[in-house]
């Protein structure tokens, strides 16, 4: 394999965490690995809600932390919740200084929305539902103007090289074809900020490339994985046949939109005291139940917003128009779709993974903030907080041996390599949605592990697909091992939550693979 040695810090990913970390590392030289052109294909850019922060004078970070712990159903680390929420306001102010055009009131304050399970309106928005895209745009402009940051667009990471428990390199490929020969990058330090796993599911709100590859890559290298079973399903993905499904932001329900079924019945009032603003797992299961019963759940914005929905929430309006829906006249069909992975690569409060020399931030990480059920709009906040933590840790722990003016790396891929088989990827995604979805049970989870085993064994020539299968295996195995229902993890055969304090899951891929192999053997 061709190798390239560099003094740059290698950052895998191009979402909010990656961009923010690169800027906080400056003038330390950085190399960003971006599968797409910056601003395209990152989950951060698709985030509609905003960033949660206690900005209201009547609110307090302690309230925010308490809401986070409560929503997480017993498995949130309270110290991490305090760490992330305590300085949330500072990150909003920092993003504002960096050009993020947050919605403002006439007196200069921030427009705040209330989302599910928040006790206050504390979600800072941009143009209604444009927060992720607009914040990303501001940061990308800063990155483009920072000479110490080089971005390799059209490139994806596929493997970690590890020696004696220390990461010593990252293998990359051409992401446009996935058919190039890998190149091993040997950098000064390695930060994984490359997204979650929602795209492993056939019904998802995530960009097409976000299919668990970063988590799987770290797991294959021996990194500890925590909370893998906790996948959040967004209640109101638009059920219009698009892949990925457009998102109808939770802020719509914060503005008074209601959920009805095809008979015009409002069903959430009988499910939870907070009705449409109940925790996401509660609303997602209610939506799923309506779908399974053939009752066609819908989001009704007509009375709450009327024609204003088209100007206040432009992304929703555009998706509706694209699918022949007038939200001022018609309810929007919705379904529960894989949205956010609470689990991932285990990281400590300094952003370090269990492998030496490896830092992780954003959705690929599992910090202990989200527990079994992420509080709405805490995802972007966590990415920002840990991006800075990781950058500060790298600056402190890794000597800077770069020259004053580092030269851009010349990366040229040679032909060869194997892309994932599209049919195998689709079969994997359908398996996850059908058998490891909103509601799970033992027989289905074992069937899923057998299917993943067969798919991996017949498609082992693609490292990218191997990474997808690794993450799918971890999710299904941990879902099988957790014999209770907690937060976003619902077992129909174990409907109760175990008494006492919640337990976070920890697993190595080798253990998950051993379980998968035993299940496959038992069925043979």
- List C-alpha distances in Å: 300 to 9, 14, 304, 377, 505: 48, 35, 8, 22, 38
Name the E strands within 22-73. Answer: 30-34, 51-52
For residue 300, list its beta bridge partners. 258
Contact 225, 347 (CB under 8 A): no
Measured distance CA(126)–CA(111) in Å, rounded = 9
Catalytic, 388? Answer no
Rounded to 5 degrees, what are φ and ψ at 122? -145, 15
Q: Nearest Cα to 229, choosing from 430, 487, 429, 43?
A: 487
Sequence-ordered list of residues with C-beta below 8 angstroms from that of 448, at least 6 positions apart, any chain: 431, 432, 435, 436, 472, 476
Contact 123, 114 (CB under 8 A): yes
Rounded to 5 degrees, what are φ and ψ at 142? -65, -45
End-to-end CA, the chain: 38
Measured distance CA(231)–CA(246) in Å, rounded = 18
Measured distance CA(79)–CA(416) in Å, rounded = 47
Contact 8, 409 (CB under 8 A): yes
Point out the catalytic residue in the list 280, 285, 352, 491. 280
Contact 478, 440 (CB under 8 A): no
Contact 76, 369 (CB under 8 A): yes
The 3-class secondary structure across 147-174, one letter per residue, is CCEEEEECEEEEEEEEECCEEEEEEEEE
How does strand 112-113 pair with strand 258-260?
A: unpaired
Q: Nearest Cα to 359, choosing from 159, 222, 190, 164?
A: 190
CB atoms within 10 A of CB 85: 29
b/e per residue 187-224 (b: at least 16 CB within 10 A): bbbbbbbbbbbbbbbbbbbbbebbbbbbbbbbbbbbbb
Q: Nearest Cα to 52, choosing from 390, 389, 383, 392?
A: 383
Measured distance CA(16)–CA(24) in Å, rounded = 12
Q: Which residues are catalytic?
A: 280
């Amino acid at each position: 394999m061709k190798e390239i040695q560099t003094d740059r810090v290698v950052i895998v990913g191009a979402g909010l965490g990656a961009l923010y970390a690169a800027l906080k590392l400056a003038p330390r030289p950085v190399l960003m690995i971006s599968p797409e052109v910056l601003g395209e294909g990152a989950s951060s850019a698709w985030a509609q809600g905003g960033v949660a922060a206690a900005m209201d004078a009547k609110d307090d970070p302690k309230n925010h932390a308490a809401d986070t712990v409560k929503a997480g159903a017993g498995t949130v680390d309270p110290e991490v919740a305090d760490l992330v929420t305590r300085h949330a306001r500072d990150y909003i102010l920092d993003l504002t200084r960096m050009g993020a055009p947050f919605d403002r009131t006439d007196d200069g304050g921030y427009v705040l929305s209330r989302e599910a399970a928040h006790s206050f309106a504390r979600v800072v928005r941009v143009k209604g539902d444009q927060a992720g895209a607009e914040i990303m745009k501001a940061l990308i402009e800063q990155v483009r103007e920072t000479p110490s940051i080089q971005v390799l667009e059209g490139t994806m990471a596929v493997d970690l090289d590890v020696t004696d428990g220390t990461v010593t390199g990252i293998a990359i490929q051409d992401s446009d074809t996935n058919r190039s020969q890998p190149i091993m990058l040997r950098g000064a330090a390695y930060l994984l900020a490359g997204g979650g796993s929602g795209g492993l599911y056939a019904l998802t709100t995530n960009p097409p490339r976000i299919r668990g590859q970063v988590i799987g890559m770290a797991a294959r290298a021996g990194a500890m994985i925590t909370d893998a079973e906790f996948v959040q399903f967004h209640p109101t993905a638009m059920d219009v046949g698009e892949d990925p499904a457009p998102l109808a932001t939770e802020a719509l329900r914060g503005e008074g939109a209601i959920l009805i079924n095809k008979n015009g019945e409002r069903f959430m009032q009988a499910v939870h005291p907070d009705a449409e603003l109940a925790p996401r797992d509660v609303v997602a299961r209610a939506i799923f139940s309506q779908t399974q019963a053939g009752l066609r759940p819908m989001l009704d914005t007509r009375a709450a917003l009327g024609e204003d929905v088209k100007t206040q929430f432009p992304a929703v309006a555009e998706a509706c128009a694209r699918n022949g829906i007038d939200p001022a006249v018609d309810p929007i069909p919705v379904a529960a779709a894989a949205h956010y992975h609470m689990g991932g690569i285990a990281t400590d409060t300094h952003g370090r993974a269990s492998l030496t020399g490896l830092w992780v931030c954003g959705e690929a990480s599992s910090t202990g903030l989200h527990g079994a059920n992420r509080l709405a709009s805490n995802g972007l906040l966590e990415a920002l907080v840990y991006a800075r933590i990781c950058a500060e840790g790298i600056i402190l722990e890794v000597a800077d041996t770069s020259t004053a003016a580092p030269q851009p790396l010349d990366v040229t891929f040679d032909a060869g390599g194997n892309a994932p088989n599209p049919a195998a990827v689709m079969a994997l995604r359908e398996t996850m949605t059908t058998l490891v979805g909103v509601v799970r049970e033992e027989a289905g989870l074992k069937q899923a592990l057998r299917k993943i085993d067969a798919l991996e064994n017949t498609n082992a020539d693609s490292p990218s697909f191997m990474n997808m299968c690794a993450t799918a295996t971890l999710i299904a195995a941990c879902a099988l091992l957790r014999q209770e229902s907690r937060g976003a993890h619902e077992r129909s055969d174990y409907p109760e939550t175990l008494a006492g304090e919640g337990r976070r899951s920890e697993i190595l891929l080798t253990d998950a693979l051993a379980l998968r192999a035993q299940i496959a053997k038992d069925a043979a």
